[in-house]
Amino acid sequence: MLSLAEENYLKAIYHLSLRGQAVLTNDLAAQLHTKAASVTDMIKRLSLKALVRHEKYYGVMLTKKGTQAALSIVRKHRLWETFLVQKLGFTWDEVHEVAEQLEHIQSARLIEALDEFLGYPSVDPHGDPIPDKTGKMTTSADRALSEMSPGFQGRIQAVKDSDSQLLKYLDKLGAHPGTPIQLVAIETFDGSLEVIIRKTRYFLSREVSQNILVTHP
């Protein structure tokens, strides 16, 4: 059985590795708000359990065993977020920290029952895909809104950042996963975007638009 700290490290390595490269010690330390020396010690522990591979000056990567463990944690986190929003009335900006606690529950039977109770959802309230019990999950060719050109019409697929203030802001705009969105223009001066959401015109900063993932309808 993995400790809470070990699970947190595996999940952090998984998310950072989605950039397509090995995870550097300093990046992992920043992600977990800890010291590089503590990261090095944990990597050694995880290596002994065959959960990660570490190459000096290159970085750390999850092994197949480590990836399966990380996806299990991600699965629990996203299922709990879905439960909290759909069944307990939490808003999508409130659920992340609570799910951070619930994701460490070890009962496989409980998680499978939760998945069935929710109707086997494929995405969580933020639009992130939920791995199934084998670790598989649906993926889509979504891109950041900031990468699109004026005239783009599609829908919001997901929101990358779990920052509660960002989610509250998007909630005011009605900018939820599945919502149609149209890119009208891009301001040359600061890269802000003029968009239409639910027939209303808004101006989004580049930072906000970088965190909104969109896809064609």
Q: For the domain that residue 8 is a member of, what is the CATH number?
A: 1.10.10.10
The string of pLDDT tens digits covering residues 175-198 is 999 999 999 999 999 999 999 999
Quote the pLDDT of residue 12: 96
Is residue 76 a part of any domain in this protein? no
Count of domains forming the chain = 2
Quick: pLDDT tens for 67-117. 999 999 999 999 999 999 999 999 999 999 999 999 999 999 999 999 999
Q: Is residue 71 part of a domain?
A: no
Q: Is the pLDDT of residue 161 over 90?
A: no
Residue 176 falls inside a structural domain: yes
Q: Which of 13, 38, 62 finishes a domain?
A: 62
Question: CB of 179 within 8 A of CB of 143?
Answer: no
Q: Provide the domain limits for residue 209.
A: 143-215
In a domain, 163, yes or no: yes
Residue 2 one-letter amino acid: L
> Does 90 reside within a domain?
no
For residue 135, being part of any structural domain is answered with: no
Radius of gyration of the chain (CA): 19
Compute, in degrees rounded to 10, the torsion defined by CA atoms 39, 137, 74, 104. -130
CATH of the domain at 159: 2.30.30.90
Handedness of CA 158, 19, 191, 91 (dihedral sign): positive
Answer yes or no: pTM beyond 0.85: yes
5-37 pLDDT, tens per residue? Answer: 999 999 999 999 988 889 999 999 999 999 999
